[in-house]
């Protein structure tokens, strides 16, 4: 009885997913657990690679600092990641600690990211 059931569940992936989902929804016992790790693994690897490929530093000069709101006005060089030419614009800083030691006029290099449509600095260093 048990063997027959296993064989049937392994027959198609679609059926396995449907059954797992249904059993989970019903709060079913652990019988289905051995099948829960069979999907998604390939996708996770691909996503990680795509994100890591383009984290390069961009040179800039600090034009203004808004410490209360953790924002910087930067005159930055081209940002290839966003297809953006050099310009002066505002950035949010991921952590206010990142700009504690910085001052207006400093030459810096930074790594920009985009979170919910907002440009955010995830890393910034003063250039000597």
Residues of the shown chain interacting with Cu ion in the complex, contacts defined by CB under 5 A: 84, 87, 89
Q: Residue 102 CB, nearest distance to Cu ion (Å)?
A: 18
Q: Which is nearer to Cu ion, 17 or 106 (CB)?
A: 106
Task: Give CA–CA dist 119/74, Å, rounded.
Answer: 12
Helix (H, G, I), strand (E, B) or coil at 6: helix
Q: Which is nearer to Cu ion, 23 or 89 (CB)?
A: 89
Q: Residue 76 CB, nearest distance to Cu ion (Å)?
A: 6
Task: Tell me the backbone φ, ψ of residue 45, rounded to 5 degrees.
Answer: -60, -45
Q: Residue 90 CB, nearest distance to Cu ion (Å)?
A: 9
Task: Give CA–CA dist 60/105, Å, rounded.
Answer: 10
Q: Which is nearer to Cu ion, 23 or 84 (CB)?
A: 84
């Amino acid at each position: 009885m048990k063997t027959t059931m296993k064989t049937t569940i392994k027959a198609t992936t679609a059926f396995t997913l449907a059954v797992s989902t249904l059993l989970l929804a019903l709060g079913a016992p652990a019988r289905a657990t051995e099948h829960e790790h069979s999907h998604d693994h390939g996708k996770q690897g691909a996503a990680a690679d795509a994100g890591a490929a383009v984290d390069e530093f961009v040179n800039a000069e600090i034009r203004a600092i808004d410490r209360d709101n953790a924002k910087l006005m930067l005159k930055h060089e081209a940002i290839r990641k966003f297809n953006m030419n050099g310009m002066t614009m505002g950035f949010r800083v991921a952590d206010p600690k990142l700009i504690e030691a910085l001052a207006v006029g400093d030459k810096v290099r930074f790594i920009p990211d985009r979170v919910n449509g907002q440009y955010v600095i995830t890393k910034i260093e003063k250039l000597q």
